[in-house]
Every structure is written in structure tokens, then in C-alpha cells.
Amino acid sequence: MIAEGKTGKYLKYALGEILLVVIGILIALQINNWNEAKKERTFEMKMLTEIEKALESDIDYYKMLENRMERLDSASGVFLTLVHEKGVFEDSLYKSDGRTRWYGLRTGINLQSNTGPYEALKSSGLDKISNDSLRNALVYFYDFRLPIFNAFIEYASQDYEEDVATLLSFLDKPYTEMVDGKIEVYSKFPEDLFQKEEFLRFLMKINGRAINSKQTIAVSSKYMVELKNHINNEISP
């Protein structure tokens, strides 16, 4: 009987030790899981913050591009009006404010976007983004909408170099004038420039490019702002 009692005590003690070990293991696993979750969340916040900063920079850059296309739209619009009025080209149109407008016809854009932070996130795994809605929004913009916007602008600008050459072809041979003690180089324009059919076609072409590009950039910027706000809602405390 005494031996049986001792055996029972030892058994209870052993079971208690095992239970403590199991509880300790479970606690350790829980702490480890908590630490891993914290690391993943920290990484997620870091990547989202970098993407947000990239979007903020791109939004500013796209605003500048939109302003450039507005300048091209304005310049080509002024000359289209003069062409429709069948006016005579005067030097004042070139030497004063018209000079700015004339060179405004050469305005082009170089569309670029900072996709580096998003590509880094893709490399590490998009599943790092815990918010399903935000993850889908990121994929939709960067892998679908942005390539379409870029392709459209690239198509609209594919004849830019040719258009600049065409614009310069309308100029006569350059001449020089002394202005405030400095030699300035000018180029004469034919007085019948506004009657030339090819000049009208040229203006209509670049005016269309300006309007379409401006609209595309504006829509792209809208998507960027919405995505940036979505990210901000996720990372804000």
C-alpha cells in the first residue's frame, strides 16, 4: 500500500512536470508567433510607407507634366485661332509673348513613375499586405492601370522628335540683331504661315496630343491620390 501511494505521488508529480513543460512550450510558441506577427506588421508598414512616399512624389511630378501639356494646349490653341482667322504672321508674335508660345509648341513630356517600392513588395510577396482591399488596389493600379496610362502617353508622344523637326521646318534662315549690346539670333517666318495647310495639320496634331495626354495624366493622378489615401488610412495610427 505504501509503495502504491508513493507511485501515485510520483505519477502525479511527473504529470505535473509534463504539463508545466507543455504550457511553457505553448507560451513560448505564442510569444514567438506574436514576435513574428509584429515583425511582419512592421515590414508591412515600412513597405506601405515607402510606396506612399513614391506616390506623393509621382503626384507632384504628374502635376508638372499636366502643366506642360496645358502649356502646349494653350500655345497650339492660340496659333490655331490665328490660322482660322487667316492672319499674317508678324515678328511681334515671335519676339514678344508669341516667342514663348512658339517655343511652347515644342513642349514634350517624359512620363516616369517610381514603381521601385511596389516591385520590392512584389518580390517579397504581396501577401505581406494584410488588408485585402488595399492589396487588390495596389495590384490593380501598378499592374493594370499604370501600364495602360504609360502606353497611351508613349503612343501619343511617339512622333515628338518628328514634330519638332516639322516645327523648325517652317522657319526661314536665321538672322541676327543687336539687342542691348548683345547679338540675338532670330528666324523669320513666312508671312503666309497661317495660310499653309500643313501648318494647320501640324497644329491640330499637337493640340490633340496635348489634350489627350493632359486628360490621361489627370486620370492617372486621380488614381494615385486615391491609392495614396487608401495607404494612409492603413498606416495611420
Residue-level pLDDT at 62: 96
DSSP for 97-156 reads HHHHHHHHTT---------HHHHHHHHH-GGG---HHHHHHHHHIIIIIHHHHHHHHHHH
What is the SS3 assignment for 159? coil
Residue-level pLDDT at 146: 96
The one-character DSSP state at 96 is S
Whole-angstrom Cα distance, residue 103 to residue 75? 8
User: How open is the CA angle 150-154-156, to the nearest 5 degrees?
Assistant: 120
Decide: 138 and 118 in contact? Cβ < 8 Å. yes
What pTM did the predictor assign?
A: 0.77
Buried b (16+ CB within 10 A) or exposed e, 98-135: beebbebbebbbebebbbebbeebeeeeeeebeeeebe
Q: Domain range for residue 48?
A: 2-235
- Name the nearest CA neighbour of 190 among 78, 90, 75, 77: 90
Instruction: Please count the structural domains in the chain.
Output: 1
pLDDT by residue for the chain (237 residues), tens only, comes to 545 555 666 666 666 677 777 776 777 677 766 766 677 788 899 999 999 999 999 999 999 999 999 999 998 998 898 888 776 666 555 554 546 677 788 889 888 899 999 999 999 999 999 999 999 999 999 999 999 999 999 998 899 999 989 888 887 777 777 777 777 766 667 778 888 889 999 999 999 999 999 999 999 999 999 999 999 999 986
Residue-level pLDDT at 12: 66
CA dihedral angle for residue 39, residue 43, residue 44, residue 45, rounded to 10 degrees:
100
Distances (CA, A) of 179 to 89, 98, 182, 185, 186: 22, 18, 5, 10, 11
The residues that bridge with 176 in the sheet, in sequence order, are: 185
Whole-angstrom Cα distance, residue 94 to residue 102? 7
Torsions phi, psi for 105 (to 5 deg): -70, -15
The helix (run of H) or strand (run of E) holding residue 187 is: strand 182-187
Residue-level pLDDT at 58: 97
Residue-level pLDDT at 224: 98
User: C-alpha cell of 107?
Assistant: 513642349
